[in-house]
Homo-oligomer: A and B are copies of this chain.
Amino acid sequence: MTAFPVPTMPAPPVGVVGLGQLGGSLAAALLAAGRPVAGWDVDPAARDAATARGVQITTELSGIVVLAVPLPAMATALDELTVDPAATVTDLGSVKRPVLHALGDALGGRFVGGHPMCGTERSGHDAVDPGLFSGARWALCLEPDTELPRWLRVAEVALDVGAEVVPVTAAEHDDAVAAISHVPHLLAAALAATAGQAGPLALALSAGSFRDGTRVIRSDPAFVTAMVEGNAGATAGALARVQEQLARPWPDLVADGHAVVTRQEGRRTVRVPLDRAALLALGRAGGAVTRRLAAFVEGWVPAQS
């Protein structure tokens, strides 16, 4: 199969709204990749830090506008800014259905929801790391009305900073992250709160399994609460499934959990046409896009090794 080169249209400019850990890291990573970045943050300290890294601070944004603000601020993040009516708008929020509802209704096919699966328990512009996205999966929403050329342009932003793009719908994303991110935050909180009630001896004896099992609840509680409440239905469902697991005989539960995390999987390289159904099928198979070519994308799917 011949690899057609991507047409040499210039990459659109990128404007990042919110220059904390995620937005600031994205701006730094894009600058490192040679793409100019404009941006804005309501916090003057974050603007100064971004300016020092080479971000052009402005309230006039065009091209691809990335909303990297907390979930509760998403709906109003553009209110004070001047955005080119032709711009593609994307976001980095950890829940996708509410953001799609808040922005997709107004922006229609110009909105492409996204969620890079990275970040740490730290936050703010002090936690900026241009390597944050390297090797990370970046969920990117393909709704029925998403304009595919815009989706591909946002995917190129993710690929440019070293991420792999997972095509999903907002609903698929929210159901998946309930199980692998939102419930882990609640389990960590419950574990920490229980140990806190058990008293000083228990905390004094706590070691690796407690430290690992509670790390994510070191995150800003407002961030965690907005995340789990913003995905309440799917999170409650996944939590109920975890509790069903906890009711099983422990030897069976331990064996099954161990098997999931120690499973060895290989990868098979695939080419996927620029077609919504084919791209979503790649995501559902557990695969990701690693490269954009002219008439297709290249990626991989898991394969029994």
Q: When each residue 164-207 of chain A gets 1 if its CB lies under 8 Å from chain B and 0 otherwise, what string results?
A: 00101000110111011101111111111111111111111111
Q: When each residue 230-266 of chain A gets 1 if its CB lies under 8 Å from chain B and 0 otherwise, what string results?
A: 0000000011011101100011011111111110000
A198→B284 CA distance, assembly (Å):
11
CB pair B180 A187 closer than 8 Å: no
CB pair A258 B189 closer than 8 Å: yes
Partner of A166, one of B204, B216, B217: B204
A246→B187 CA distance, assembly (Å):
7
CB pair B225 A192 closer than 8 Å: no
Tell whether A2 is near chain B: CB-to-CB under 8 Å.
no
Residue of B nearest to A116 (CB): B207
Tell whether A71 is near chain B: CB-to-CB under 8 Å.
no
Q: Which residues from B are CB-within-8-Å of A192?
A: 256-258, 260-261
Tell whether A286 is near chain B: CB-to-CB under 8 Å.
yes
Q: Which residues from B are CB-within-8-Å of A268?
A: none
Tell whether A25 is near chain B: CB-to-CB under 8 Å.
no
Tell whether A53 is near chain B: CB-to-CB under 8 Å.
no
CB pair A184 B213 closer than 8 Å: yes
CB pair B243 A243 closer than 8 Å: yes
CB pair B286 A217 closer than 8 Å: no
This chain's copy number in the assembly: 2
Tell whether A10 is near chain B: CB-to-CB under 8 Å.
no
Tell whether A131 is near chain B: CB-to-CB under 8 Å.
no
Tell whether A5 is near chain B: CB-to-CB under 8 Å.
no
Partner of A245, one of B190, B216, B287: B190
CB pair B191 A183 closer than 8 Å: yes
From residue A158, how far is it (CB to closest CB) to chain B in Å?
13
CB pair A195 B207 closer than 8 Å: no
Partner of A214, one of B186, B225, B250, B257: B257
Tell whether A89 is near chain B: CB-to-CB under 8 Å.
no
CB pair B190 A253 closer than 8 Å: yes
From residue A230, how far is it (CB to closest CB) to chain B in Å?
11
Q: Which residues from B are CB-within-8-Å of A202?
A: 175-177, 179-180
Contact A257:B191 (CB < 8 A) given known A176-B205, A205-B180, A208-B120: yes
Q: Which residues from B are CB-within-8-Å of A218?
A: 258, 261-262
Binding site for B on A (CB under 8 A): 117-120, 136-137, 139, 166, 168, 172-173, 175-177, 179-181, 183-210, 212-219, 221, 224-225, 228-229, 238-239, 241-243, 245-246, 250-251, 253-262, 283-288, 302
